[in-house]
Structure 1
Amino acid sequence: MPSVMLKVFPREVSLTVWVWNLLYRINRSCTLVSDLKNFVVCLLENAGSFNLPFVGEAHAASCDTSQLTALDQLCHVCTANHIANRANTRQGRALVDTASKVFGYDDVCSLKSTLKHFHYPVVFGAVYGSLGLDLDTTLTAFMSGVIRTSVASAVRLDRIGPIEAQKIVTELQRLIPEIIHRNKTSSAADARVTFPLTDIMQNCHDKLFSKLFYS
């Protein structure tokens, strides 16, 4: 069965701002892990309520170029956060380039000339659908990527160690089926941000004096 490696950089830039915010908190060493878990849960909920509808519809329309173009445009309009917008389009382009070179499927290659913005959720759903992966596998892979890249960025920022990171990933993966169940039937028109605070924090990324991640 074909597989595609994925990274979700919007979560990394959001986590960078969270870390800087955490530095101003009292007794942060005692609350770091629990705060990180809560923050990643917020990211998961936002990914479920906003991204999964686009992933699901793009998966169903993987052979319909006009529908994919409309979804890409709708995602662009709905992504008012300029940091998320920039990260989504760059990562989407990277996924299309990689998938077209690795697999060479006509439906995947056609995305390069069909889409205008290349928003990551739309590209992700379209690529996985073109590769013949079922919807549940596609949605699970997307949500797993949210957890993995968020926690991995915390490791790179030296907030937690790799062993603690694996424990967090294992624990939070159990939330994925329930989040998918709640959002699986939502249409792209229903896409929304459930926890706006994380979106606001991410929107401040360009204002940081120093940062490890740039998307």
Structure 2
Amino acid sequence: MIAGAFLCALLTGCGYEIDTFGLTQKQIEDRELFHPVPAAKAWANPQGMTFVMQRGLLGGSEQRIGLPNNVAVPGDNLLILRTRLGHLAAARFRFEEFVTRIGGAPAPFTSVKPGALMTGEDSLGLYFWTEEAMGPNVTCVLALRRLTQAERGLPQGARVMDVMLRNCIAGTAAEALVPVLDASIGYGAVAGNTGGGSTRMLSPLAAPGADLEWK
């Protein structure tokens, strides 16, 4: 199934407006520095993680987990996880907004469009991904997904956690996707919804403002 654009605007007042000091939320967040945290405090458990860095956000936190990189493709293999608290969690996922907030799509996916993403599904729900062949037996994948309290326990009282993976390996796309799948990011999973309400990724095929649920 080919996924189209991640559409549907954010709710008014969800933190994307200019603040009282004349700075956008992104400008404020960009001032926050990453600091190392122990691997035991990682929000996911991908095999072979090389580092864990974390910073605060307005209404959440961001964690970046380094992954092994044994191929000659420019860029880092990373798992990026961003949490949202309170009313900010009500904002629906927007692909372009998310990519902007993390500093742009990673190579070799700098020009990726939402319509190029395919969908996959595991025990935690849907994820979106694309791949790029970079040479004999070298595959890069870009994958994104949103997790809520309904799928797993979330850190620091978060209501949602948005996840992006960039992984280039000597192997198949299925192997490259492993760090973003349930076995790697589903630790602490809980049955059912432990919090009031939930948000979700809308169908990429939805028209602006439409409210389609995944089937």
* TM-score of the two chains, using structure 1 as the length reference: 0.26
Name the structure with the higher helix share: 1
Q: Which has the higher contact order (CA 8 A, sep 6+)?
A: 1
* TM-score of the two chains, using structure 2 as the length reference: 0.26
